Structure 1
Amino acid sequence: MFARLSAARTSLIKLVAGLSFVALASCDVASVPLPGGGPKIDTSKPVPVALLVPYDSAQASDIALAQSIENATRMAMADLQGVTIDLKVYPTGGQAERASAAASQAVANGAKIILGPVYGGSAKLAGIPAANAGVNVLSFSNNPDVAGGNVFILGPTFENTANRLVRYAVKNGKRKILIVNGDSPAENAGANAIASAIGRNGASMMGQTSFELSQAGVTQAIPKIASSSRSTGADAIFFTSGNDGAMPLLAQMLPENGISSPNPQFIGLQRWNIPPTAMSLPGLQNSWFAIPDVALTQAFSSRYAATYGQQPHTLAGLAYDGIAAVGALVKSGDANALTAQALTRSSGFAGVNGVFRLLPNGTNERGLSIATIQNNQVVEIDPAPRAFGGFGL
């Protein structure tokens, strides 16, 4: 027990850096709205595409991320049939100001669409010179606060994930949901998304318990969470925390206080199979969380590893998806293929992580699988949809 507790507390210390799931920098400036806007293109010629990635960053992790994204982009380009991409790569150093300058240079060089940058604040600033030139931006961010106008985000959003999970919970008889979240901007936003999804899908919100993001804060919150679960009759607890934060400690201490999944059912807004070592935590067994389409993701990872000799970064698939969307639109031969109206077509696109579509508000909707952990292994219990049809927000 003490070894597990130590590991959980060590994980909690990492909260200093904030939660990685949506804690991307944002900015107060707004991109110029371009309803339905975008550049005209000549589909008979290579399409100029700019890729903004954090090369030149002082962080080694940024450099590795940039390389993985570029690799996936070039893999996608090679897979296109009947469409040629003229790709130019622009380093941002992981800095918003450099991303803005890179976007300015990209549109000056004739880019018809911009892929990237990664971070939310960078995406927002890059969107301004791009908007002035009538060019749309497909950012790898998952921060909805930076979406809108000519800026679209490709990363999975809290709203999309919460809606998928609550819908599945209701379908499987888990309608009385208690929300548990850390007190941070990211986790509070996640809690709001869960609350909206509960109302949207006919479930009942049995209450909300938040805690200070510290070891002491989690420890002090355990009795309250356990009490609320029992007194309200909640049949599910929906957590916003991830394994890089408070979840390992929550998953250990709640069962020690008589609260364990599946009664009530633990549901996670974040992917509880990351890192893989977390799957051995007893408290995460029989939990539910959402992941990208399992078969497609595995196929992409295998192809990437065979090509580049290592596994792709988790964001690399977004780069592939961006190129896949551009290719599908340009192949139509329409000069307006890269306008916002075309990018937000309701049928969406087939990506390496599953089906996805861009929404008029700049966010996105993705087909997600529901997974659980059994015997320390991830098990898909509800496959991701392969088309939108009746599936949607």
Structure 2
Amino acid sequence: MWSVLLIGLTSCGHQQPSETIIERKPPVAVPQKKPQVEAPKPTLQVPMSHKVGLLLPLTGSHAKLGNHLLQAAELSLFEMGPSSLTLLPQDTTQGGAHKAALRALDAGAELLLGPLFAEDVKAIRPLVASRKVNLISFSTDQGVAGNGVFILGFLPSQQINQASNFAKTKGLTKVAALTPEDGYGKLVDQTLKQLNSQGKIKLLGITHYARGDILEGNPGNSRIKDEVSQYKSKGLQALFVPEGGENLSHLLKLLISQMPLTIVGSGQWDTQDTLDLAFDLKENFFASPDPETRGQFIRRYEEVYGEKPPRIASLAYDAVALSAALVDKGYTQQNLTLPQGFMGMDGLFRLTPQGLNERGLAILEVTSIGFKTLNPAPRSF
């Protein structure tokens, strides 16, 4: 029986997998300059026996993001030290995701990591099923999960649930939300409505908006302001705003007239962009993976590649680390869905038989000097 799988970044040397705890540590030497990656790249060859396909957009409009994830995957492989693992990076842009997956499988891949986008996952689901291999996608679209497809991306439903539970401990149960008219917004809506039906919150309403509605001067501005004002008149205690970056900035400008107001975010707040808005967001909170271990990953990535990784790069790191840890056990559904879970760069997580993931999340508060942990992430399920 396996215990929690630990993927560490704390000291030099490495350990081989054991039956109870697996801990991998970084090598003494790291590359002195940023590796050059030419895409598409047929293999990242290491003299090892087990092969894992890595499906990413390495060319085209999403090449920058795809290559960041590839670099994180390379870093993870380097951090693992000697192991019987070979990565097979394949470009999902040239020829499409189906051909990329086919190339990896024909080359002997026993597991597929990626792709990044839900439409690409849909394109290769029949192939995955026919070849009887499992796939760990970086998507957040729950609709593509199941039948050998696992979703490793950060799911808003868990973040909203966790943030709502914390808000309840503070007596904040009368809530409303501003959500975008897209798939992410629909997941947030669904979660809040479910919490309302369970009696965990009192949902006063949800205001939907198209991206253009929140731009300064758009006629949609007044509608959003008016509806938030109506929520406040009904006793609003917390407003969920699951947006990040520039969109969050636009929304905050619309909410200035409604302050003071407790605003609750989602994992999309977990970026430097949110800290840049700390003056308006201080003392507001959101649920997100443990920032401590992720901070180690960010520092290591910067040390090797000379730049900060995008937020989702840690998914590629954890996926490769998980692959390395299970390489001698096999990539069966039973092994991938260990109930004890795994401890990665984004903290505790586990894959479920339904193809989703569950994460141990922390509650973070926005302050002028960074994110403050109000409630630490759990260390076990």
Q: Same fold (TM over 0.5)?
A: yes
Aligned positions of 1:1-393 closer than 5 A: 46-57=49-60, 59=61, 62-80=62-80, 83-93=83-93, 98-199=96-197, 202-213=200-211, 214=213, 215-231=218-234, 233-245=235-247, 247-256=248-257, 258-261=258-261, 265-272=262-269, 274-276=271-273, 279-280=276-277, 282-330=279-327, 333-334=328-329, 337-375=330-368, 377-388=370-381
Task: Determine the C-alpha separation between the residues in 2 that align with 1:315 and 1:92.
Answer: 18
CA contact (8 A) 1:72 1:304 kept: yes
For residues 114 and 199 of structure 2, what CA distance do their matches in structure 1 show?
Answer: 33
1:302-352 C-alpha deviation (Å, 9 max, x unpaired):
01111122112222110111122222323xx43xx3112221111111111
Q: Which amino acid aligns with 1:54?
A: P
Q: Which stretch has the larger CA shift, 101-110 or 76-85?
A: 76-85
Query: What's the offset of the Cα at 1:113?
Result: 0.2
Q: What's the offset of the Cα at 1:255?
A: 2.9
Distance 1:251 1:284 in 2: 8
Q: Aligned residue for 2:17? A: none
How many residues align? The count is 329
Cα 1:56–1:121 shift into 2, 3 Å: same
User: What's the secondary structure of 1:137's corresponding residue?
Assistant: strand
Q: What code does the residue aligned with 2:176 have?
A: L
Distance (Å, rounded) in 2 between the aligned partners of 1:75 and 1:281: 32
> How far apart in 2 are the matches of 1:137 and 1:66?
17
Shift of 1:281: 5.6
Cα distance 1:224–1:144, how it changes in 2: closer, same or farther (>3 A)?
Answer: same
> RMSD of aligned C-alpha atoms?
2.2
The whole-number CA distance in structure 2 between the counterparts of 1:379 and 1:161 is 17
- Using the TM superposition, give the Cα deviation of residue 202 of structure 1 relative to its aligned residue in structure 2, in angstroms: 2.3
- 8 Å contact from structure 1 (residues 248, 278) kept in 2: no
Q: CA-to-partner distance for each residue in 1:185-207, whole Å, 9 max, x for gaps?
A: 43133221233245557222233
Q: How far, CA to CA, are the matches of 1:70 and 1:259 in structure 2?
A: 43
Tell me the TM-score normalised to structure 2 length.
0.80
* AA matched with 2:374: I
**Which stretch of the first structure deviates more once superposed, 63-72 or 141-150?**
63-72
1:253 is displaced (CA, Å) by 2.7
Provide the secondary structure at the position in 2 that maps to 1:360.
coil
Is 1:290–1:370's contact at 8 Å kept on the other side of the alignment? yes
Q: Find the aligned partners of 1:200 and 1:328 in 2 and give their Cα distance.
A: 39
CA distance change for structure 1 residues 131 and 304 in 2, over 3 Å: closer, same or farther? same
Gapped regions of structure 2 (runs ≥ 5): 1-47
Q: What is the CA deviation profile of residues 195-229 of structure 1, one whole-angstrom value per residue up to 9, with x for unaligned ones?
A: 32455572222332334441321332212211222
Distance 1:315 1:374, change over 3 A: closer
Cα pair 1:251 1:281 within 8 Å, conserved: no
Distance 1:46 1:204 in 2: 55
Farther-moved stretch of structure 1 (221-230 vs 206-215):
206-215
Instruction: Provide, for residues 219-247 of structure 1, a one-character-per-residue CA deviation record: whole Å limited to 9, x for no partner.
Output: 3221221122222x2211112333332x3
With normalisation by structure 1, the TM-score equals 0.77
Task: Report if the CA contact (8 A) 1:190-1:269 is conserved.
Answer: no
Q: Is the 8 A contact 1:177 1:203 kept in 2?
A: yes
Q: Structure 2: which amino acid aligns with 1:310? A: E
Residues 128 and 252 (structure 1), Cα distance of their counterparts in 2 relative to 1, 3 Å cut: same
Give, in whole Å, the separation in 2 of the partners of 1:73 and 1:253: 40
Q: For 1:244 and 1:121, how far apart are their aligned partners in 2?
A: 25
1:82 shift after superposition: 6.7
Deviation at 1:277, TM superposition (A): 6.5
Distance in 1, Cα, partners of 2:67 & 2:210: 36
| Aligned-partner residue type, residue 312 of structure 1 | P
Letter in 1 for 2:49: P
CA offsets, 1:29-75, max 9 Å, x none? Answer: xxxxxxxxxxxxxxxx6211011111122x2xx22222221221122
Separation of aligned partners in 1, 2:251 and 2:87: 46
Q: What is the DSSP-based 3-state SS (H/G/I as helix, E as strand, rest coil) of the residue aligned with 2:245? A: coil
Mapped contact 1:367–1:385 kept (Cα < 8 A): yes
Q: In structure 2, how many angstroms separate the alpha carbons of the residues matched to 1:201 and 1:376?
A: 36
Answer whether contact 2:172 2:237 (CA < 8 A) is retained. yes
Note the residue ranges of structure 1 that are not aligned, 5 or more in a row.
Answer: 1-44, 389-393
